[in-house]
Amino acid sequence: DAKTTQPTSMDCAEGRAANLPCNHSTISGNEYVYWYRQIHSQGPQYIIHGLKNNETNEMASLIITEDRKSSTLILPHATLRDTAVYYCIVRLRYSGGGADGLTFGKGTHLIIQP
Amino acid sequence: DAGVTQSPTHLIKTRGQQVTLRCSPKSGHDTVSWYQQALGQGPQFIFQYYEEEERQRGNFPDRFSGHQFPNYSSELNVNALLLGDSALYLCASSPGWGYRGEQYFGPGTRLTVT
């Protein structure tokens, strides 16, 4: 799995868009970008994933640069409930030899300010 | 559609004792992974079960063992508990062998060893 780099922490005002960056310069052609978040003392929650194209779901949007070396998770209208640690993980979607566990880095602690 | 469930929510044990934690995967998922999350750290992969066998294992001692049942539910057993085993234990499920995509996590079991 490609190594990822994220800022340690970020602040965002409630109601504004929160943009969380992730660098993954060693990503290979068939590795996907996944985002999870973990609200304090809860289990991680899958948010979104993408390969090349930008993706959007009911929770967030994912923008992947053309060279795929970085991406941005966008929470369009952040609320206080979006305060959490956000993890960017890069890995293959399928493996003929089975699957191993997710490797979580330190993530970005996003704090939504009222 | 029931998500991943775990029991118990909290548990207090004494050093040297044994503990069993339980997990039911998301409907339609047959692969269960277990993670340990110490305070202030990201989740660490313990092992993964598929077809009632341990398929992948992280860097955890043999004191950590597991089981998967025919209905895909799973147990995590920890023997000879140490103070350092105090952590949030997370269960995650995913569909199918070889699938390395998104995993769905339960709320976790908070284990305190005194």
Report the distance separating Cα A74 and Cα B8, nearest Å: 35
Calculate Rg over the CA atoms of chain B: 13
From chain A, pick out residues whose CB is under 8 angstroms from the CB of B4: 43
pLDDT digits (tens, 9 = 90+) for A11-26: 999 999 999 999 999 9
Q: Is pLDDT of A101 > 90?
A: no
Higher-pLDDT residue of A12, A3: A12
Does residue A95 surpass a pLDDT of 80? no
pLDDT confidence band for B2 (50 / 70 / 90): confident
CB B57 within 8 A of CB B46: yes
Count Cβ–Cβ pairs < 8 Å, chain A vs chain B: 81
Kind plus residue range of the DSSP H or E element containing A95: none
Q: Which residue of A has its CA nearest to B93?
A: A101
Nearest CA in chain B to A43: B107
pLDDT single digits (tens) B41-52: 999 999 999 999
Q: Which of B35, B98, B103 sits opposite A46 (nearest CB)?
A: B103
Give the closest of A44, A100, A105 to B45, CB-based.
A100
Task: Give the pLDDT confidence score for residue B102 in this predicted structure.
Answer: 86
* Res A10: pLDDT: 97
Burial-class residue A86 by CB neighbours within 10 Å (0-12, 13-18, 19+).
Answer: buried
* pLDDT tens digits along B16-29: 999 999 999 999 99
Burial-class residue B34 by CB neighbours within 10 Å (0-12, 13-18, 19+).
Answer: buried
Instruction: Read off the pLDDT band of A96 (50, 70, 90).
Output: low
Q: Quick one: pLDDT at residue B58? A: 92
C-alpha A24/C-alpha A42 separation (Å) is 26
Q: With beta carbons under 8 A apart, name residues in chain B contacting A108.
A: none
Residues with Cβ < 8 Å from B71, sequence gap 6 or more?
none
Q: How many alpha carbons fall within 13 Å on the CB side of residue A11?
A: 3
Output B1 or A66, whichever has higher pLDDT: A66
**Chain B nearest CA to A77, separation (Å):** 24
Taking only the tens place, the pLDDT of each residue in B82-103 is 999 999 999 999 987 777 778 9
Mean pLDDT of A68-90: 96
Which residue do the tokens 């103070």 mark? B83
Q: What average pLDDT does this structure show over A65-81?
A: 96
Q: How far apart are CA B108 and CA B11, in angstroms?
A: 11
**Nearest residue, CB atoms, A101 vs list B48, B102, B104:** B48
Q: Tell me what pLDDT residue A110 has.
A: 98
Query: Each residue of B28-39: pLDDT tens digit?
Result: 999 999 999 999
Quick one: pLDDT band at residue A98, thresholds 50, 70, 90? low
pLDDT for the residue A56: 97
Contacts of B58 in chain A (CB under 8 A): 100-101
